[in-house]
Structure 1
Amino acid sequence: MRTPPVIAVVGPTGSGKSDLAVSLALRLGGEVINADAMQFYRGMDIGTAKITAAERRGVPHHLLDTLDITQEASVSDFQVQARELIADIHGRGRRAILAGGSGLYVRAALDVLEFPGTDPAVRTRLEAELAARGSSAMLEKLRAVDPVSAGRLSDARRIIRALEVHEFTGRPFSSFMPRREYFQPAVQVGLEVDRVLLRERLATRVHAMVDRGLLEEVRRLDALGLRNGKTASRALGYSQFLKVIDGVATVEHAAEETIVATRQFARRQLTWFRADPRIQWMGWQDPDLVEKAAARCI
């Protein structure tokens, strides 16, 4: 029998990916695999808009609440876990449905994509060199061995990663860039949004998070080591509300900063997903969205 395609529901934050994924799972007999990097973290519920048990409507969800906040999310680990889950779900005669806005994680599950290994000793030495010489010097060092990556990267953390990969593998980091080639049959459904309405929705959602207790959630996670988490501490809303705990921002100011950062993130997500010509875009408020999406996923 033909193996059914993996389904991926993608789009910007706040566009309704989780709801559509659940509806498709109910329609097609599927299970949902989370592809939102921040929803891996236990306890980060309000600020990540993590789907609740009631909202899952009985549909099994995978890769939610798999990490402590002090652990670092790994796209290569996710690739292994997601592909094992896809094989298991399809092996049981059900449909695997990825849902999330972390573009690289979606591609890691769907595309032919090789991840280079890591060397903690090399990483530590390069980080010490960064502290001593600064990011500009490290970027020039990268330019000498991998000008393609040097032209693309500005974030110090990613510059160090590119240098580590070159030293560890002998290959430029740019040689590991993904190709738009599916690892196995797949269908990507993208949620087309009205940008003005999305801006309003994101602001409303942040204020609702505050009302639901976002500050208290951040305070509780801070006591558990949130600031020590390289990935979790950078999550939208959490970094802003840590400033409230530190007494350097008001709740109102932190909420506005979160709204601005979330809107910027949504624009970056749209840019990322728009670059993939394989995505089939559908109106996020189309009353026949579920039926139309399901028809594309057969």
Structure 2
Amino acid sequence: MLQKLPYRLLLISLEPSNRHILHKRISDRFKKMLDQDLLINEVKKIRKKWNLNLNLPSMKCIGYRQTWEYIDGLIDRNTLKEKSIIATRQLAKQQLTWLRNMNEKITIDCLEKNCVQKILNLIKDIF
């Protein structure tokens, strides 16, 4: 049996109004991570520390599998980038679909410049 929570919940969904901007941001973010070798260094460190293989659920995380393949020389750096960006875009699409099917949520366009202020005003007005 579910107990009623002793506080009020506010379900806010941050959803971009422009998918093209979302895709560009995903691409830019991943390229930046790749330029700084962040993901490559991370995967190298965890491979060195733990006995891992590509069949483990943890290696199904976006970017990990692709980086593993890159480190092992199975794919080149450009393929690592492209496969990871595509996988991230697919995940974002799934998440947005899931969010859009949620009832009783307040949707805020996360691309609006005043997004944070809208959220703060909403909280202030409701509580």
Q: TM-score, normalised by structure 1?
A: 0.37
Q: State the match for 2:116 in structure 1.
A: 290
Q: How does 1:71-90 map to 2 (within 5 A)?
A: none
Q: State the match for 1:188 in structure 2.
A: 11
Give unpaired runs (5+ residues) of structure 2. Answer: none
Question: Any conservation in 1 of the 2:34–2:40 contact (CA below 8 Å)?
Answer: yes
Give unpaired runs (5+ residues) of structure 1. Answer: 1-111, 113-181
Note the alpha carbon deviations across 1:256-280, whole angstroms, 9 max, x for none.
0000000000000011111102221
Aligned residues: 118
Q: Which one of the candidate residues 202, 217, 223 is aligned to 2:42?
A: 217
Q: State the match for 2:31 in structure 1.
A: 207
Q: State the match for 1:259 in structure 2.
A: 85
Note the alpha carbon deviations across 1:11-58, whole angstroms, 9 max, x for none.
xxxxxxxxxxxxxxxxxxxxxxxxxxxxxxxxxxxxxxxxxxxxxxxx
Q: How does 1:167-178 map to 2 (within 5 A)?
A: none
* Structure-1 separation of matches of 2:41 and 2:117: 40
Q: How does 1:41-190 map to 2 (within 5 A)?
A: 184=5, 185-190=8-13
* Structure-1 separation of matches of 2:51 and 2:106: 37
Q: Which one of the candidate residues 278, 284, 297 is aligned to 2:104?
A: 278
Considering fraction of residues, name the structure with more helix.
2
* Structure-1 separation of matches of 2:15 and 2:43: 32
The percent identity for this pair of structures is: 27
Q: Which structure's relative contact order is higher, taking Cα pairs within 8 Å and 6+ residues apart?
A: 2
Change in CA separation of 1:285 and 1:268 when aligned onto 2, cut-off 3 Å: same
Q: Give the root-mean-square deviation of aligned CA atoms.
A: 2.0
Change in CA separation of 1:226 and 1:188 when aligned onto 2, cut-off 3 Å: farther
Q: State the match for 2:67 in structure 1.
A: 241
Instruction: Specify the SS of the correspondent of 2:10.
Output: strand
